[in-house]
Amino acid sequence: MLKIHIEGPFIKLGQAIKAAHLVSNGAEAKEVIQNGEVMVNGETEVRRGRKLVPGDVVLYQGKTVEME
């Protein structure tokens, strides 16, 4: 499981999957999120701007990323 340290109170979902190198750019992040391919805390998330806080877990293509 990859961990991402959040600078500040939150990070947006699109930024988080880019920071974890799960996608190569913002356009790809937008596409995979809107297509329902990303899960946050076990539920499908389609909002690219979803605010993630420490403890949130993102799953995409079998890869897990935890916010800390």
pTM of structure: 0.93
Tokens of 2: 């990859």
The reported pLDDT for the residue numbered 50 is 97
pLDDT 10s digits, 44-63 = 999 999 999 999 999 999 99
Average pLDDT of every residue of the chain: 96
d(CA 40, CA 46): 10
Q: Which residue has the tokens 């790809």?
A: 28
The reported pLDDT for the residue numbered 43 is 98
pLDDT 10s digits, 32-49 = 999 999 999 999 999 999
Asked if residues 5 and 52 have their Cβ atoms less than 8 Å apart, the reply is no
pLDDT 10s digits, 20-31 = 999 999 999 999
The reported pLDDT for the residue numbered 25 is 96
Ordered by start, the domain boundaries in the chain are 2-67
* Type of residue found at 30: K
Q: Which CATH number fits domain 2-67: 2.40.50.140, 3.40.50.1370, 3.40.640.10, 3.10.290.10?
A: 3.10.290.10
Of 58, 43, 55, the C-alpha closest to 5 is: 55
